[in-house]
Structure 1
Amino acid sequence: MKKRKKAEAESIIGSLSKQSKPALAVAFACVVAFMGIGLVDPILQSIAKSLHATAAQTSLLFTSYMLVTGVVMLFTGFISSRIGAKKTLLIGLVVIILFSFLGGLSGSVGALIGFRAGWGLGNALFIATALSTIIGVSTGGSEKAVIMYEAAMGMGMSVGPLIGGILGSFSWRGPFFGVAFLMLVAFVLVWFLLDPIAKPKKKAGVWEALKALEHGGLKITGLTALCYNFGFFTVLAYSPFLLRHFNALEVGFSFFGWGILLAVSSVFLAPKFEKTYGTTKMLLFSLLGFAVVLGVMGIFTEYPVVIMFGIMISGFFQGISNTLLTTTVMEVAPVERSIASAAYSFVRFTGGAIAPYLAGKIAEWFSPHITFYFAGVTVAVGSAILYSGRSYLQKIYLK
């Protein structure tokens, strides 16, 4: 049994190590891009204190970032089909470099929220195009490409809070300048290693990504992801405020542990569980498991240590959900992968945009307990949506 597990792990690692240089270059850029999501977790309290902002106001750093990312995602297919995938990636990287640097110079929480929105613009151009690019230039088929993409996401989300904690221990501005530098490295790698990718023969329409959501399978998956991401970003954006007496570095290590579990479960466990139990069953398991973790965090909001372990354990369920949802979208949609990625990302990032601000406001209106209960119920609703629409998915792809 142990030998089989070791062989499976080595197989996955081997397939990643044999990928083409262009695919690895884009994957590295993805790592840095996803670092930007969790980078501010350890410094949320420092930003709130330094810029005299409330928890709800500070959480708008996530909301502005995710909302702009989600909306712009709708048009990334339209843009990349006209100027090419490589140019779209490079423009996205330049925009991220610019606004992350400006974020480090911010003098007010309002300015910082605005610069994070600009960062989200670049993020949208890059992330939606990156997934379809990796699938196009990688070896071994779409499933392995998605695993590499999810590995990059997991690594970025795990390393991001750690780097944020280390640099944030000196100043909350440090992480913003750090991302700008790393994105500059990513820009150079993509520029030199990724050859121009042929434009699709059929150019995407302005509203093609939105129209793609009319497809039953993509709609069900997107709505499930919207509900799931509400819980995901409640953990990411609100729970740091409950880690009382933790400094930036300690918060960073807490989310580093979360990211490690997320990466391991998404890369190694999700593919194995999917083959053994089927995609639908494993998605339902991971979503309901995550909902239970949120409920437990809601019960013990006064205990920072419990919240810390809740954050880490949630990474296990989130990693499985991330991989299986992304794989499903890439296989189930009857449209170009770039369009499917854009449509799906629009819906899921909308959930990510709503959660941070609403989580803080619910805590102000009622209590932190209700914040996590609400998030848990929302994730459970996502599992119910998935179950109710399983027929759309079973006919095309899922077991």
Structure 2
Amino acid sequence: MLRTKKAVIFIFFTVVLDISGLMIIFPIMPDILRSVGKLSISDAAIWGGVLYASYALMQFLFSPIIGNLSDSYGRRPVILVALGLMAIDYLILGFASVLWVFIIGRMIGGIAGGTVPTAFAYLADISNSEDKAKNFGLVGAAFGVGFVFGPFIGGILGEIDFRLPFFFSAFLSFLTFLLCFFYLPEPLDVGKRRKFKKKDLNPFATLIKAFLFRDLRILFLCFFIISLAHWVYPAIWSFWSKEVFNWGPGLIGASLACYGLGVAFVQGFVIRMK
């Protein structure tokens, strides 16, 4: 039981790092792009969209592949590799001096950020029927914490130096890697693993299978529209508030953290109300 609780805690922090890694860059993005790329605020907003899209694209393409790899080789090695990639990604971003390096760094981050399905699979492996809903709810809470923690830390540290949030995140990723390496057990027995096949490299196979269920198509479409509306706001907020209010990273991060609190409140409480 104690090992299970420790594993749940480590998975919680892994998901927090995933979401924080996505959100930590939002408050400092205007300063990064204007400093590195010598761009106007309007051009910086366009390149910011490219960086966000590169992260999301890699996450979309690699999430099903990573999930299949975890089914074949175990959850633990996949999570450890992802944490290692996160640390490398943050270091790349911290030292980057040209835009194309930032794009490569965000792409690596997107690949590493595709481990959320593996985190859910890990919890499913170690949870009994009584604890499964509670443990999955904890992952939902981790999303909320990441939405608050990421922009808040990014904004506060960005006031000191806009590269500092990356080095801080690299430290957290490396620390979590070490803790998981020494204390996170493998939940998937060898006998329950399946052989990895070439078709598992196709990221669209799972999506196509899902769309074969007619009743789910409308649900997926609605979720896509909601997600699109959800991410437009934080994607443009830092550039808009910089241009209109001349806010620095601290205020941008604090405002996005308030947005994250709203997300956490809805996910953690409102959707559970009966």
What TM-score does the superposition give when structure 1 sets the normalisation length?
Answer: 0.60
Shift of 1:215: 2.6
Q: How does 1:205-220 map to 2 (within 5 A)?
A: 206=200, 207=202, 208-213=205-210, 214-220=212-218
**Deviation above 3 Å: which 4+ runs of structure 1?**
138-142, 199-205, 216-221
Instruction: Report the Cα distance in structure 2 between the residues aligned to 1:42 and 1:91, rounded to whole angstroms.
Output: 27
Contact 2:72 2:193 survives alignment (8 Å) = no
Q: Which amino acid aligns with 1:190?
A: C
Deviations 1:167-220 (A, max 9, x none): 111222111111111111211222233211225344465145234322334444
Distance 1:105 1:183, change over 3 A: same
Query: Counterpart of 1:246?
Result: 247
Query: Counterpart of 1:48?
Result: 33
Query: Counterpart of 2:183?
Result: 193
Distance 1:201 1:111, change over 3 A: closer
Instruction: Report the Cα distance in structure 1 between the residues aligned to 2:166 and 2:26, rounded to whole angstroms.
Output: 12
Query: Counterpart of 2:265?
Result: 264
Contact 1:58 1:109 survives alignment (8 Å) = no
Instruction: Report the Cα distance in structure 2 between the residues aligned to 1:192 and 1:216, rounded to whole angstroms.
Output: 45
1 or 2 for the larger relative contact order (CA 8 Å, sep ≥6)?
A: 2
SS of 1:41's equivalent? Answer: coil
Query: Counterpart of 1:116?
Result: 106
Q: How does 1:314-329 map to 2 (within 5 A)?
A: none
Contact 1:35 1:159 survives alignment (8 Å) = yes
Distance 1:241 1:93, change over 3 A: same
SS of 1:195's equivalent? Answer: coil
1:137 aligns with 2:122: no
Q: How does 1:1-399 map to 2 (within 5 A)?
A: 20-51=5-36, 52-53=38-39, 54=43, 55-124=45-114, 126-138=115-127, 140-198=130-188, 199=190, 200-203=192-195, 206=200, 207=202, 208-213=205-210, 214-243=212-241, 244-272=245-273, 276=274
Q: Identity across aligned pairs (percent)? A: 24
Any gaps of 5 or more consecutive residues in structure 2? Answer: none
Shift of 1:234: 0.5
Between Structure 1 and Structure 2, how many residues are aligned? 256
Shift of 1:111: 1.3
Any gaps of 5 or more consecutive residues in structure 1? Answer: 1-18, 277-399
Distance 1:177 1:221, change over 3 A: farther
Contact 1:158 1:260 survives alignment (8 Å) = yes
Distance 1:58 1:133, change over 3 A: same
Deviations 1:255-296 (A, max 9, x none): 111111211221122111xxx2xxxxxxxxxxxxxxxxxxxx
Contact 2:24 2:154 survives alignment (8 Å) = yes
Contact 2:148 2:257 survives alignment (8 Å) = yes
Instruction: Report the Cα distance in structure 1 between the residues aligned to 2:216 and 2:181, rounded to whole angstroms.
Output: 33
